[in-house]
Amino acid sequence: MSRKTRKASFEQAMEALSARSFEVSPYPGVPGQMLVSKRGAAALLAPGTDAPVVFTERLGALVQGEVARLLDRGYQKFLKTSHFEIPATAAQLHAIHAFGEELNQVIGAINFYNDSLGTTSDLYQYDRLKGRQTAGPVSAAPWEQLEPGH
């Protein structure tokens, strides 16, 4: 028999996070949003309409008080803030992954299969595709020749 889980209100979720050693503080400049952090990882949470708690900023590392986005360039993951971009270390990726699992468990969010496999990025910029333009029609098969001028 399956059990129904009750979703806590936003305030109850913030109290539960504080009780589990998460640092919970209002995010400066944005009313209603809370910065939740633990062991160098962080996320921005806000009360939602469909769910009691929604992510306003995806999980990332806490860098100088800002949640750094995880950027995947194919060969390396980077932490990107509004001011700079630094290569992500394995320790930072492990911290973000552990933080996300524990955070989702406390607030009652859905855990997706791909997130359980490891740290996922929210932005992918492969260097071989950067700047590539799709100019003109593409042939149906690679062996077909396009007309001259295309």
The pLDDT of residue 16 is 86
Stretch 40-59: mean pLDDT:
81
Contact 101, 50 (CB under 8 A): no
pLDDT over 80 (residue 5): no
The pLDDT of residue 104 is 84
Lowest mean pLDDT among 3-17, 22-36, 45-59, 108-122: 108-122
| Cα–Cα distances in angstroms (integers) from residue 12 to residues 18, 107, 132, in the given order | 10, 9, 48
> What residue ranges do the domains of the chain occupy?
10-121
Average pLDDT, the chain: 77
Q: How confident is the model at residue 30 (pLDDT cuts 50, 70, 90)?
A: confident
Stretch 121-133: mean pLDDT:
60
What would the pLDDT profile of 76-106 be if each residue is shown by its tens digit?
888 888 888 899 999 998 898 888 888 888 8
Stretch 63-71: mean pLDDT:
86
Please, which residues have CB within 8 angstroms of residue 134's CB and are 6 or more apart in sequence? none
Cα–Cα distance measured from residue 87 to residue 55, given in angstroms and rounded to the nearest whole number: 24
pTM metric for this prediction: 0.68
